[in-house]
Structure 1
Amino acid sequence: MDNERNSIITIGEKEYELILTTRATKAIANRYGGLENLGEKLMKSENFEMALDEIVWLLTLLANQSILIRNLKNKGKAEDLLTEDEVELLTSPLDLAAYKNAITEAMFKGTKRNVESEDEGIVPKNT
Structure 2
Amino acid sequence: MDERSAVVNIGGTEYEMLLTTRATKEIAGRYGGLEDLGEKLMKSENFEMALDEIVWLITLLCNQPILVHNLKNPQDKKPELTAEEVELLTSPLELAGYKNAIMEAMYKGTKRNIQSEENTGKNGAVG
Q: Same fold (TM over 0.5)?
A: yes
Separation in structure 2 between the aligned mates of residue 96 and residue 31 of structure 1, nearest angstrom: 20
1:81 is matched with: 80
Q: TM-score, normalised by structure 1?
A: 0.89
SS at match of 1:17: strand
1:45 is matched with: 44
Separation in structure 1 between the aligned mates of residue 98 and residue 23 of structure 2, nearest angstrom: 17
Question: How far does residue 116 in structure 1 lie from its aligned partner after superposition?
Answer: 3.9
1:125 is matched with: none
CA deviation string 1:89-109 (max 9, x = no partner): 000001101101100000000
SS at match of 1:115: coil
Q: Counterpart amino acid of 1:27?
A: E
2:65 is matched with: 66
Q: Counterpart amino acid of 2:59?
A: T
Separation in structure 2 between the aligned mates of residue 118 and residue 62 of structure 1, nearest angstrom: 33
CA deviation string 1:11-59 (max 9, x = no partner): 1111100000000000000000111110100111111111110000000
Separation in structure 2 between the aligned mates of residue 14 and residue 87 of structure 1, nearest angstrom: 11
Separation in structure 2 between the aligned mates of residue 78 and residue 119 of structure 1, nearest angstrom: 44
Does residue 2 of structure 2 align to residue 25 of structure 1? Answer: no
1:5 is matched with: 4
RMSD across aligned positions (CA): 1.3
**5+ unaligned residues in a row in structure 2: which ranges?**
120-127
SS at match of 2:48: helix
How many equivalent pairs are there? 119
Q: Counterpart amino acid of 2:64?
A: Q
Q: Counterpart amino acid of 2:37?
A: L
SS at match of 2:98: helix
SS at match of 1:113: coil
